[in-house]
């Protein structure tokens, strides 16, 4: 309401930076109720958590501000309606744009050997960041710093800039600047843009997207890890039980030996030594003196039967646990590799349908969109399709792909189903390698090298009955070892 009263209908006459500080002044001519043009001003102070926007009248009196600062919070500078505007305190630094060589010499003398050249520049010159300070020192080497500093200043004043954004191998923006930064060269991929605004837009748009995806996926990863830990523990206990149950044959042999030597055993004996006709050695067998020799033999046979049944049941349970672990690890991989909010929500829906997650009352509703796997093309024109989650993997392999298309998947590593559409034509080795590299990239082994990838015709891929989404078996496959390659 205040902005509407004092600024609506006004004309911006100038936008300027205060020296080289993070303060922007927006000058506005506004027509008042008397019809006269009155100069007013918006001050934007960009200072982290202390950032503020202050509206001033023609006398530099504060009309209001986003954050009001009273005397009890700041004795030097109060920001309240009706008070004159006072600029943030001077840090006794030299202006980046007007610094002279003599001033630079004095700055470099301060602090002695306790501070590096880069730190001295940051402490003595306003508007210079640690990043650009290190770049100036790197370019100067053992030579004079002032010519390099003057070169940067001149480039900014004349607009001779090379705005760049540095991204990692997952296409996540790591930093951006109006100059190339030698400290980041070789470590990250560089994208050169036309303007500083475009570089900032690219950086913050992609960074915010990555942050939102990370926030959305945090609770999913926690749920997946919790379920995985339960399955790992269950697997360990089942393995221990199986190890114990392997004594089944021991119980059977004990029962057989007791039965074979019943005529030598009398009631009330606690143990008996008999010849083991399997190895012709004497063996001592413990007995329950309260039971007859025959019942002792039956007791060992019962232990044998129980252990044998346990082995069968434990093996069945162990197979189910291993399938659950493989499935959950695949979901975790898709969550780590997700690039959009929609992919995260589709994974959430899969967890709900699998019984791993309760449906939220205010659940996100997926937009009604057609099946759209990731699609790429090889240099010789073949299309490659990549599933983004387990349900999409199934649909891609069993409903979209042709029986003669080639199917790719990382060997014993969770990842996407990748289809190389052949259209019944012979496929080049280059296209096969491209599809295998994409399969490795869209898997848990994205950051690895020499990743094994199996491939076969789609006709050789089958889905077992009652198998979880994305789980398949295949035959007649070949294996390639490739390095994951980003599609970009």
pLDDT of residue 488: 67
**The domain made up of 2-65 is a member of CATH 2.30.310.10:** yes
Going by C-alpha positions, the residue among 261, 449, 441 that lies closest to residue 339 is 441
Strand partners for 386: 374, 418
Prediction pTM value: 0.55
Q: Is residue 453 within 8 Å of 410, Cβ to Cβ?
A: yes
What single-letter DSSP state applies at residue 413? S
The residues, ordered by sequence, that sit 6+ positions from 344 with a Cβ below 8 Å of its Cβ are: 213, 216, 217, 220, 335, 338
pLDDT tens for each residue of the chain, 488 residues long: 888 888 988 999 999 988 888 899 999 999 887 888 899 999 999 988 889 999 999 999 999 999 999 988 888 899 999 999 999 887 788 988 889 999 999 988 887 777 888 999 998 998 888 889 999 999 988 888 999 999 999 998 898 999 999 998 777 888 999 999 988 888 888 999 988 999 999 888 887 666 777 777 888 889 899 999 999 999 999 888 887 777 677 778 888 888 888 888 888 888 888 888 888 888 888 888 898 888 988 988 888 888 788 788 888 889 899 999 999 999 999 998 887 788 888 888 888 888 888 776 554 454 554 577 899 999 888 999 999 999 999 999 999 999 999 999 999 999 999 999 998 899 999 999 999 999 999 999 998 989 999 999 999 999 998 889 999 999 999 999 999 988 86
Q: Is residue 332 within 8 Å of 414, Cβ to Cβ?
A: yes
Structure tokens at 319: 């197979």
Domain boundaries, the chain: 2-65, 94-206, 217-360, 374-482
Q: Is residue 322 within 8 Å of 235, Cβ to Cβ?
A: yes
pLDDT of residue 369: 47
Q: Is residue 448 within 8 Å of 484, Cβ to Cβ?
A: yes
pLDDT digits (tens, 9 = 90+) for 166-211: 998 777 888 999 999 988 888 888 999 988 999 999 888 887 666 7
DSSP character string of 430-464: HHHHHHHHHHHHTBTTTT-SSEEEEEEEGGGEE--
Structure tokens at 366: 């997926």
pLDDT of residue 171: 77
Q: What does the alpha-carbon distance between residue 117 and residue 145 come to, in Å, rounded to a whole number?
A: 9
pLDDT digits (tens, 9 = 90+) for 110-157: 877 778 889 999 989 988 888 899 999 999 888 889 999 999 999 988
């Amino acid at each position: 309401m205040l902005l509407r009263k004092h600024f609506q209908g006004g004309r911006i006459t100038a936008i300027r930076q205060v020296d080289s500080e993070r303060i922007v002044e927006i000058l506005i001519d506004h027509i008042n109720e008397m019809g006269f043009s009155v100069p007013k001003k918006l001050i934007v102070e960009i200072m982290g958590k202390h950032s503020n926007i202050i509206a001033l009248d023609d006398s530099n009196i504060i009309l209001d501000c986003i954050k009001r600062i009273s005397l009890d919070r700041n004795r030097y500078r109060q920001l309240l309606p009706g008070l004159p505007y006072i600029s943030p305190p001077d840090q006794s630094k030299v202006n980046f744009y007007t610094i002279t060589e003599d001033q630079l010499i004095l700055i470099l003398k301060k602090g002695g050997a306790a501070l590096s050249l880069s730190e001295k520049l940051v402490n003595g010159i306003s508007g210079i960041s640690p990043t650009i300070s290190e770049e100036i020192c790197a370019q100067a080497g053992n030579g004079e710093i002032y010519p390099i500093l003057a070169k940067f200043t001149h480039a900014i004043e004349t607009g001779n800039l090379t705005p760049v954004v540095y991204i990692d191998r997952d296409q996540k923006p790591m930093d951006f600047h109006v100059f190339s930064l030698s400290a980041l060269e070789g470590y990250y991929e560089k994208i050169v843009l036309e303007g500083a605004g475009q570089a900032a837009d690219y950086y913050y748009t992609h960074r915010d997207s990555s942050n939102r995806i990370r926030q959305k996926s945090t609770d999913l990863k926690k749920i997946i890890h919790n379920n995985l830990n339960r399955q790992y523990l269950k697997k360990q206990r089942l393995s221990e039980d199986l190890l114990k149950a392997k004594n089944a044959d021991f119980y059977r042999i004990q029962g057989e030996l007791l039965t074979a030597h019943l005529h030598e055993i009398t009631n009330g004996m606690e143990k008996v030594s008999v010849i083991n006709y399997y190895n012709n050695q004497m063996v001592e067998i413990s007995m329950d003196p309260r039971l007859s020799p025959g019942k002792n033999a039956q007791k060992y046979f019962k232990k044998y039967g129980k252990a044998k049944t346990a082995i069968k049941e434990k093996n069945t349970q162990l197979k189910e646990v291993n399938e659950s672990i493989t499935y959950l690890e695949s979901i975790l991989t898709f969550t780590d590799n997700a690039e959009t909010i929609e992919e995260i929500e589709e994974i959430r829906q899969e967890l709900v349908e699998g019984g791993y997650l309760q449906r939220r009352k205010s659940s996100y509703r997926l937009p009604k969109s057609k099946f759209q796997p990731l699609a790429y093309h090889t240099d010789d024109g073949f299309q490659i399709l990549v599933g983004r989650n387990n349900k999409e993997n199934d649909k891609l392999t069993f409903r979209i792909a042709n029986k003669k298309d080639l199917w790719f998947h990382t060997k014993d590593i969770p990842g996407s189903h990748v289809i190389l559409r052949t259209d019944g034509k012979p496929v080049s080795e280059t296209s096969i390698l491209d599809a295998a590299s994409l399969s490795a990239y869209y898997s848990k082994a994205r950051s690895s090298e020499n990743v094994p990838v199996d491939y076969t015709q789609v006709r050789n891929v089958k889905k077992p009955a009652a198998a979880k989404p994305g789980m398949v078996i295949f035959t007649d496959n070949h294996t390639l070892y490739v390095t994951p390659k980003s599609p970009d």
